[in-house]
Amino acid sequence: MSSPERGGLRIVSSKRRTSLSAEMFRPKDSQQSLFDDECPWTIVFAHVPDLPEGAFVDLIRLSEPSFVFDLRLAPRFDIGALNRERAFELFDRAHATYVDTTTPLMGGANREEVIERLIRRMPTTGLDARRPVVFLLGRSESSLATQPEILSILGHSARRLEIINVPEIALPEQSGDSHERLA
Which residues, other chains included, contact 122 with Cβ-Cβ below 8 Å and sequence gap of 6+? 153, 154
Q: What is the pLDDT of residues 2-41, one digit of tens each?
A: 444 455 454 444 444 446 666 666 656 545 555 555 667 7
Single-letter residue type at 176: G
- Gyration radius (Cα) of the chain, Å: 16
pLDDT of residue 135: 93
pLDDT of residue 110: 87
CATH assignment of the domain containing 129: 3.40.1010
Place 102 in a pLDDT band, splitting at 50, 70 and 90.
confident
Q: Answer yes or no: is 18 within a domain.
A: no
Domain that holds residue 174: 37-182
Q: Output 112-115 pairs: Cβ under 8 A, ≥24 positions apart.
A: 114/144, 115/144, 115/145, 115/149
Split into its structural domains, the chain has a count of 1
Cis peptide leading into 40, omega within 30 of 0?
A: no
Q: Answer yes or no: is 5 within a domain.
A: no
Q: Answer yes or no: is 14 within a domain.
A: no
Q: What is the pLDDT of residues 48-68, one digit of tens each?
A: 999 877 889 999 999 999 889
Q: Answer yes or no: is 173 within a domain.
A: yes
